[in-house]
Amino acid sequence: MNKIKVVHIVPMLSPGGAERVAVHIVRGLNRQRYEPSSFHHGAARMRPRQFAYGAGIEVRYLGKHPGFDYRVYPRLHHVLKYYRPDIVHTHLHVLRYALPVLLLLKGMSVLHTVHNLAKREIEPRARWIQRYALNHGVVPVAVAQEVAVSVERLYEFNGAA
């Protein structure tokens, strides 16, 4: 049986709450069914062995600099094209970088975890990207019922998981 390739994309490995949730999701995947990997925009702020060593998780860093960094698009395109995951799971504000690449590559299921109330997750000028994504096949996953309700209200979307 072929394993399902799952890529989690997070801004960075850091001791923050959302990052820890992503780490626990990746580490908790059944290795008999899934082949997990994790891509990070910036440098690691958590010792990689805490995250991946001994857990069979491939970790890649995309070398993003603070603020908007257009170089993430071709880097992410390259690693996703090479790795060809079945599922891409984004966290926090990385959907704005992942969505254009995912639209080009096609054929991957996409989940996006909303870790905070929707109005606090990303700045207002980038919300159109979230709205477009959620209304065009990206499946939102909310960490709490209140978060799910906020996603439905802000993005006029029904059905946050």
pLDDT tens-digit profile of 115-147? 899 999 889 998 999 999 998 899 999 999 999
How much is the pLDDT for 45?
A: 54
How much is the pLDDT for 90?
A: 92
How much is the pLDDT for 16?
A: 63
Task: pLDDT band for 55, please (50, 70, 90 cuts).
Answer: low
Cβ neighbour number for residue 77 with a 10 Å cutoff: 16
Beta-sheet pairing, 4-10 with 109-114 = unpaired
pTM: 0.86
